[in-house]
Structure 1
Amino acid sequence: MDAVATDLFTLQNLIALISLAALEIVLGIDNIVFIAIITSRLHRSQQAKMRRIGLVLAMLQRILLLFAIGWVVRLTDPLFTILDRGVSGRDLILIGGGLFLIAKATFEIHGTIEGGHEHGTDGSQSPPASAASILVQITLLDVVFSLDSVITAVGMVNNLTIMVAAVVASVAVMVLFANPVSEFIVKHPTIKMLALSFLLLIGVVLTADGTGHHVEKGYIYFAMGFSILVEAFNFRLRSKAKASAG
């Protein structure tokens, strides 16, 4: 047992653990954004709790998928053929998750622009979404994000213990930052619209990936980062204008 523990804490394994945990955090950005947007429709007192539950569920799903790695690998085997292209279980999950994200992001963008989430058709305050419905949506999307995360982990590391430790570490970091990120997104309408556009783009990328047209997520993250940088400049400019006017 001591020998196994000693082998686990080698420099090579520690580097692999840190690298994989960092990558898992980056891959989890879209998960945090989705959870931030969807939990904003709950009562304020429920939001922080539901964010933590959503991230813990994501962690548990990823760990379960890691232990069922043989099944995950078989998901890439073709189930049937369409137009001379094999369609696997992974493809179906990515397409389903991508279409769901596109529909959800489009609905949220429309609701934000038209004010449909804040008011009913008669102008009255619309009731918050139920915790159960939000939890179901988070769980469904966690499956898609978790599958992507696990396949990436398996491609980088062949030690199950390191993979599980990296997943736990990355989710712990995401739990720490989930509330500040969520509050910032909800508080600033332009950032919220950027986040929704980001989810819409991720949905398109997942759907394209499921149909055999792979798009590197790095391009998406760069575009989002650049957009946030531009918005940060605008935010600073508006703050200075308000200070001058005051």
Structure 2
Amino acid sequence: MGWMNPMEWIGGPQAWFGVLGLTMIEILVGLANVVFIAILANEFPAAQRNRARLFGLGVMLLMRLWPLAQGLDWPVKFLNRSQLSVGPYEYTGQHLLLMAGSVLVLSLLFQGARSGWRIWKGAPDPADSGGGAGLRAVLVLFQILALNAVFAARSVVTASAMASRVEVAMAAMLAAFWFLLRLSRPLARVAGTSPWQMTAWTALLVFANRMDWA
């Protein structure tokens, strides 16, 4: 994937169609990422949730743009090559990312169901109690980073496969991010106030995650 002449970018209809198509796919791939960030941000005290959400979204964008800016093809090679051998079994990068993503998604499903049950019962939010806040914040930030890494790998591989030029992929990433950024605030409100919708979203995205990586 290389850089194109600026005049090709401005005047080439294929590039613009490529941006439009890839933007729609990146929105679908990134939607699960944004919902999970909203769920994780609710683990912070109420006053810090917006900052945690914006931090997660910022990391989400950087983890997508940096490999593309380098013009790297390593994500495709990483996914298709054997990365781990256990006895007679060979595991490619795709297998490893699928396993890591499944563990993260299942942990988020548990967190979403637990938070939904707490809200339904009207129990106080443990994030506002102050007990173990520092350790909880570190663990949640680690989850956000790991989650973004898994989704970013999938996103970059998709962009590398569909776009032959760096500019097309980066423009699609930025357009999708702009849309998802505007969508993230109402999604965060739903995740924080509606336990049944939150749990349903999480369960649906668990299924979507499995289908997307299959």
Classify the TM-score, shorter chain: 0.7 to 0.9
SS at match of 1:86: strand
Task: Tell me which residue corresponds to 2:206.
Answer: 200
> Pick from 184, 192, 195: which aligns with 2:190?
184
Task: Tell me which residue corresponds to 1:113.
Answer: 117
- Distance in 2 (alpha carbons) for counterparts of 1:197 and 1:47: 22
Task: Tell me which residue corresponds to 2:38.
Answer: 36
In structure 2, the CA distance between the partners of 1:140 and 1:159, relative to structure 1 (3 Å rule), is same
TM-fit CA distance, 1:199:
3.9
Give the length in aligned residue pairs.
203
Task: Tell me which residue corresponds to 2:92.
Answer: 88
RMSD over equivalenced CA pairs, Å = 2.8
Task: Tell me which residue corresponds to 1:232.
Answer: none
- Does the 8 Å contact 2:64/2:156 carry over to 1? yes
Unaligned runs of 5+ in 1: 215-246
Task: Tell me which residue corresponds to 2:58.
Answer: 56
User: Which structure has the larger Rg over C-alpha atoms?
Assistant: 1
**TM-score when scaled to structure 1?**
0.72
In structure 2, the CA distance between the partners of 1:88 and 1:117, relative to structure 1 (3 Å rule), is farther
- The residue correspondences of 1:127-146 to structure 2 (distance < 5 A) are 127=130, 130-146=136-152
Q: Deviations over 1:104-163 (max 9, x none)?
A: 31243145326699459xx9x744854443222111100111111111111111101111
- Distance in 2 (alpha carbons) for counterparts of 1:68 and 1:8: 17
Q: Aligned partner of 2:5: which letter?
A: V
- Does the 8 Å contact 2:71/2:166 carry over to 1? no
Q: Aligned partner of 1:48: which letter?
A: N
> Pick from 156, 167, 174: which aligns with 1:168?
174
- Does the 8 Å contact 2:56/2:144 carry over to 1? yes
TM-fit CA distance, 1:80:
4.3
- The residue correspondences of 1:5-16 to structure 2 (distance < 5 A) are 5-9=6-10, 10-16=12-18
Q: Is 1:153 aligned with 2:154?
A: no
TM-fit CA distance, 1:6:
1.1
In structure 2, the CA distance between the partners of 1:14 and 1:203, relative to structure 1 (3 Å rule), is closer
> Pick from 90, 99, 103: which aligns with 1:99?
103
Per chain length, whose mean CA-contact separation is higher, i.e. which structure has more relative contact order (CA < 8 Å, sep 6+)? 2
- Distance in 2 (alpha carbons) for counterparts of 1:142 and 1:77: 22
Q: Deviations over 1:3-24 (max 9, x none)?
A: 9211012111111112111211
- Does the 8 Å contact 1:102/1:203 carry over to 2? no
Q: Percent identity?
A: 22
- Distance in 2 (alpha carbons) for counterparts of 1:135 and 1:118: 24
